[in-house]
Amino acid sequence: MSHASPSEHPGYAVPGPAALRIGEAAAQSGVSAANIRFYEKEGLLAPQTRGENSYRLYSEADVHQLRFIRMCRAMDMSLGEVRALLVLDLHDRDHCAAARQALDDHLCHVRERLAELKALERDLKALRERCDGSGPHCQIIEALHERAEQGPGTVAGHAHSHVKGAA
């Protein structure tokens, strides 16, 4: 897969190659060293050259790409969505349409997630209202045990996936 690096795009003004070790690249990009390695493994960042001491070496363009990835991930974009945006050329009108479509698709996902979160909020409020602490036992804990009997992945009859391994 080809990666459109910032240095390939006129107007980015990314300085030439620098020999930054992974810790320096992590500090400058705000991406942990572990995530840098993960992004390389996932193909979001091209595999890096290695110095004589076998350390990975990163350029300023790589640091920019890591910042781009971090920004997209902060907007809750999936690795696939980030990957799709990374290969787009900012000077190609067709690529601009693809970027708009990618964001429109992501907005749909965000809106769906917001609806799920609102339903979760209603469910949590209703659960909280079941107990004021004055009864002989806790109605909240009782309700949670009843739900546990219903099976995995359900909260008030709805499947939820916001907790890893919950659905």
| C-alpha dist (Å) from residue 19 to 36, 41, 45, 49, 72 | 15, 20, 16, 10, 25
For residue range 135-155, list pLDDT tens digits in order.
898 999 999 999 899 877 655
For residue range 30-70, list pLDDT tens digits in order.
999 999 999 999 999 988 777 777 888 899 999 999 999 99
Average pLDDT (118-146) is 91
| C-alpha dist (Å) from residue 159 to 48, 58, 137, 165 | 41, 42, 28, 12
pLDDT at 164 over 90: no
pTM of the model: 0.71
Rg of the chain taking only CA atoms, in angstroms: 23
Q: Which two tokens stand for residue 144?
A: 């949670």
Fold of 6-86: Multidrug-efflux Transporter Regulator; Chain: A; Domain 2 (1.10.1660)
Q: In terms of Cα–Cα distance, which of 83, 82, 78, 67 is closest to 28?
A: 67
Q: Which two tokens stand for residue 37?
A: 């390695």
Q: 43, 37 in Cβ contact below 8 A?
A: no
List the chain domain ranges.
Answer: 6-86, 93-159
At residue 85, what are phi and psi to the nearest 5 degrees? Answer: -75, -35
Distance CA 3, CA 34 (A): 20
Residues 6+ apart with CB under 8 A from 120: 155, 160, 162
